[in-house]
């Protein structure tokens, strides 16, 4: 056995923030922020109670989804959403490629780099709904506004992630192929594409999934798709139909997830 010594050692887990004063100040600031925001919430318990009692009926409707009475418009909305999703994702893929190369720091000249980055930032900063509002105002209600919206937000997403992929390209592989005397198209197909294609396909499938979910909300502001149907159902307080729409959407997202995991497995 080890000998017992009389002196006591002290040990404390090292803190993330070393200085004690700093730590206290940060804790205090966080606490103050939380308290302040809670006060600024202005929760009105009476309104909530009233709402809860009123919404009991809606909740009951939610658990009795009705696929039939609005069946036709649900079907129509879903088809519109799916077509919007597909078309916009394809457009997004095609347009995002030049922007991705433009936004890759290692191969792009400075002016083009900044221009591409600016487009990406604007596309990523605005939520789809905000963009949809803009397009609806410009070209009117309907699925075309939705397609433009989804295309625009796909560009930023795909171009940014693809640009990162291009920046990570292993140039020794490119040089090795170049050393065999390959031409530029050969260089692309043998050295560059194999490095970025698998990830890009994965991203595109992921974006397809995001676009479908987004297509359900931009309808709320009139940009077509199942969102229009859903919004109408909420407006008419037809919660049984709304619930049916949500269930169909969840099912499609689930199917999409199965599909994308299937694709990802194939790519490996």
Partner 1 sequence: MPKNDYNWQLKGRVRILREILFWAAGIWLFIYCWNIISARTMWPFVYDGAEQASKLLMRMFPPNWPYFLNLIRPIWDTITIATLGTIAAILLSLFVAFLAAENTSPHPILRQLALLIIVTSRSVSSLIWAIILVIILGPGVLAGIIAISLRSVGFVSKLLYESIEEIDKEQVEAVEATGASKFSTLIYSVVPQVFPSFVGTAVYRWDINIRESTVVGLVGAGGIGLQLNEAILGLKWPDAIIIFMMILSLVLFSELFSAKIRKILI
Partner 2 sequence: MLKINNLHKQYPGGDLALEGINLELKKGEIAAVIGPSGAGKSTLIRCINRLVESTAGEIILEDQDINQLSKKELKEKRRKMGMIFQEYALVERLTVMENVLSGRLGYLSFWRAWLRRFPQKDINQAYQLLERLGLKDHLNKRADHLSGGQRQRVGIARALIQNPDLLLVDEPTASLDPKTARQIMRLITEMARERELAALINIHDVLLAREYVSRIIGMRKGKIVFDGSPADLNKETLTTIYGKEDWNNFKNKDQENSASEGGNDLADREKRKLQLAASSSN
CA distance 47 to 38: 17
Binding partner of 144, given partner 2, partner 1, none, CB within 5-8 angstroms per partner class: partner 1
DSSP 17: S
CA distance 214 to 197: 25
DSSP assignment of 185-222 equals: HHHIIIIIHHHHHHHHHHHHHHHHHHHHHHHHHHGGGT
The interface with partner 2 within residues 9-68 (CB under 8 A) comprises 9-14
Tokens of 63: 């658990």
CA distance 196 to 173: 13
Binding mask 173-212 for partner 2 (x = CB under 8 A): ----------------------------------------
Binding mask 36-75 for partner 1 (x = CB under 8 A): -x--xxxxx--xx-xxx-xx--x-----------------
Binding mask 214-243 for partner 1 (x = CB under 8 A): x-xx--xx--x-----xx--x---------
27 vs 171 by CB, closer to partner 2: 27
Residues binding partner 2: what is the number (CB under 8 A)? Answer: 12
CA distance 211 to 251: 15
- Taking the complex as a whole, the smallest distance from the CB of residue 166 to partner 2 amounts, in Å, to 32
**Radius of gyration from C-alpha coordinates of the chain:** 27
4 contacts partner 2 (rule: CB under 8 A) = yes
Burial class (CB in 10 A: 0-12, 13-18, 19+), 113: middle
Residue indicated by tokens 């009705």:
66
Residues that bind partner 1 (CB under 8 A): 16, 37, 40-44, 47-48, 50-52, 54-55, 58, 79-80, 82-84, 86-87, 90, 121-122, 124-127, 129-130, 133, 137-140, 142-144, 147, 213-214, 216-217, 220-221, 224, 230-231, 234, 246, 249-250, 253-254, 257
Residues that bind partner 2 (CB under 8 A): 1-5, 8-14
């Amino acid at each position: 056995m080890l000998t017992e010594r009389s002196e006591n050692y002290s040990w404390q887990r090292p803190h993330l923030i070393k200085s004690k004063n700093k730590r206290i100040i940060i804790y205090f600031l966080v606490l103050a922020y939380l308290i302040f925001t809670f006060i600024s919430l202005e929760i009105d318990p009476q309104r909530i109670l009233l709402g809860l009692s009123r919404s009991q009926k809606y909740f009951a409707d939610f658990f009795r989804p009705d696929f039939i009475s609005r069946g036709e418009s649900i079907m129509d909305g879903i088809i519109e959403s799916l077509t919007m999703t597909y078309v916009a994702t394809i457009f997004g893929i095609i347009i995002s490629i030049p922007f991705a190369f433009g936004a890759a720091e290692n191969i792009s000249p400075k002016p083009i780099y900044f221009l591409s980055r600016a487009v990406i930032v604007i596309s990523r900063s605005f939520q789809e709904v905000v963009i949809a509002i803009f397009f609806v105002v410009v070209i009117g209600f309907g699925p075309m506004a939705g397609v433009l919206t989804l295309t625009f937000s796909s560009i930023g997403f795909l171009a940014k992630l693809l640009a990162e992929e291009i920046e990570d390209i292993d140039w020794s592989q490119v040089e090795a192929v170049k050393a065999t005397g390959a031409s530029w198209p050969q260089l692309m197909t043998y050295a560059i594409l194999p490095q970025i294609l698998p990830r890009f396909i994965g991203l595109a499938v992921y974006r397809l999934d995001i676009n479908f979910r987004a297509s359900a909300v931009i309808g709320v502001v009139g940009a077509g798709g199942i969102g229009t149907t859903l919004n109408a159902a909420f407006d008419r307080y037809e919660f049984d139909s709304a619930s049916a729409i949500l269930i169909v959407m969840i099912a499609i997202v689930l199917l999409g997830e199965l599909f994308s995991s299937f694709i990802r497995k194939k790519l490996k």
